[in-house]
Chain A
Amino acid sequence: MKYRPVYTLFLSVILLTAGLSSCSYKHYKGFEQVSTENTPIPVVYVSSFTKAVYSTNFKIFGQELSGITMMKKVQSGNTIHVVFMSQIGLKFFDIEIRPEDKENWFHVNYIMESMNREFIISMLKTDFMLLFGQYPKHSEIAAFRQTGSNATETTIRFDKNVASVFSQPTNNQPVKIELRKGCSVKATIQLTPGNNYPENVEINNKRAGLQLEWDEIQM
């Protein structure tokens, strides 16, 4: 009976190790690692992107807002503005992405008082980091290619997070982005590629049940 505490401790260490290793995400099955030199990180909104207008549905904590999102690159500052407003024109948020300012790439120009909560802004920042590829400088990048189809998965590791960008074989346009921390998927983005940028974007953020859906419209 004396060995029981040692045995219990040993078992716990084994289970913990097994648990940690099973939660340590590597890449999808059936994908082989390839050199990142020939496989750049797939970008959702490429440098030639100028503007898009989306019909928008935004859900958080069971509350729902609908309207229009205008996304436009302002050439003078080389920044992208994402403005979400109601059909009547009242603005919900105006967020500016500054790709050249790595420290302050996410800038909130305006957010409606009822949405001005730290966790909402933090979630939007995470989602926009994935959409606009604004990963931290110290991220480690690896690329994997599916045998036979040439579909790729690019993993970006930073601060115990792993972002996986899946892209289609024909033109390297992203179709899905997942963000994991340990075993849990924190955010998923489904993309329907268009000519130059996605026609449809569906963002699911597990925390607070945040869902953001964009469908392109012609104005």
Chain B
Amino acid sequence: MKIIKLMIFGFAFLMLTSFVSLQEEGYKPLSNPDEFIQKVKAYATATNTIQSNFKQEKHLTMLEEVLISEGHFIFKKKNNVVWSYTRPTDYTIVVHDGKFIIKDGDKVKEFDIASNRMFKEINNMIVTSVSGNFLDNPDFEASYLENDTYYLARLVPLKPEVHEMLSEIDIYLDKKDMQVAKVKFMEPGDDFTLITFSDKILNGPVPDEVFNMAN
């Protein structure tokens, strides 16, 4: 009986803490889902380029460590992305023309996205997260929440190879302009990566040359 009581207490405690955690940020189901969907579609249609600084926090819960990286991010429709890390090391990831290019210091390596399942999935996640292209995406089960500041699109990967790496992707859209303010990649267990965008420029000129690592 004692064990059963303890189990009931433990379960109640878990339920309470997860409820409190969601309530702390004040997220609740959307009051007007149709309006949200229309806004996201309009944003995705109108967004041709994004340029932004970013701060990345890698939370390793077991190790009680947060690794912080910083850099600059560029997106250009339809599928061109640059992640340029400046801290802690110079490291650039480019997705362009079906290729995944990594510049690590002076070394440049090129991978064919289609031939590498992992790169393909990573690319898919990046583009889905930052471009607002998550509506009706068959690779994710989506649920939508909101608080006073953000819309929260919570995506659960359906592909086993992605779900094995990430249990959930949380995309926070600023209610003022519908731009992606932060993205949280949750891993199985408690570890997660939080990327926060700042100093965003929407639809500014982005020449194709920025995706050419030879430059």
The stretch of A18-26, A64-72, A143-151, A152-160 that contacts the partner chain: A64-72
The distance from the CB of B206 to the nearest CB of chain A, in whole angstroms, is 21
Bound Cα distance A168, B102 (Å): 37
Residues of B within 8 A of A (CB): 56, 58, 60, 62-63, 65, 67-69, 83, 85, 88-89, 91, 93, 102, 104, 109, 117-118, 122, 126, 161, 164-166, 185, 187-189, 191, 193
Select A219's contact among B88, B122, B161, B188, beta carbons within 8 Å: B88
Residue A53, interface by CB 8 Å? yes
Contact A66 B83 (CB under 8 A): no
Bound Cα distance A112, B188 (Å): 12
Contact B88 A66 (CB under 8 A): no
Contact A81 to B185, CB < 8 A, known contacts A89-B193, A113-B164, A114-B118: no
Contact A90 B185 (CB under 8 A): yes
Cβ–Cβ < 8 Å partners of B63 in chain A: 70, 72, 74, 81, 83
Cβ–Cβ < 8 Å partners of B93 in chain A: 87-88
The distance from the CB of A202 to the nearest CB of chain B, in whole angstroms, is 16
Select A64's contact among B109, B164, B189, B191, beta carbons within 8 Å: B109
Bound Cα distance A64, B111 (Å): 10
Contact A89 B58 (CB under 8 A): yes
Residue A189, interface by CB 8 Å? no
Bound Cα distance A140, B129 (Å): 56
Q: Who on chain A is nearest to B109 by CB?
A: A64
Contact B65 A113 (CB under 8 A): no
Bound Cα distance A85, B192 (Å): 12
Cβ–Cβ < 8 Å partners of A87 in chain B: 69, 83, 85, 91, 93
Cβ–Cβ < 8 Å partners of B91 in chain A: 66, 87
Contact A113 to B161, CB < 8 A, known contacts A70-B60, A81-B62, A219-B88: yes
Contact B56 A89 (CB under 8 A): yes
Q: Who on chain A is nearest to B188 by CB?
A: A110
Contact B165 A112 (CB under 8 A): yes
The distance from the CB of A172 to the nearest CB of chain B, in whole angstroms, is 29
The distance from the CB of B200 to the nearest CB of chain A, in whole angstroms, is 19
Bound Cα distance A110, B191 (Å): 12
Contact B67 A53 (CB under 8 A): yes
Residue A218, interface by CB 8 Å? yes
Contact A217 B88 (CB under 8 A): yes
Contact B83 A90 (CB under 8 A): no
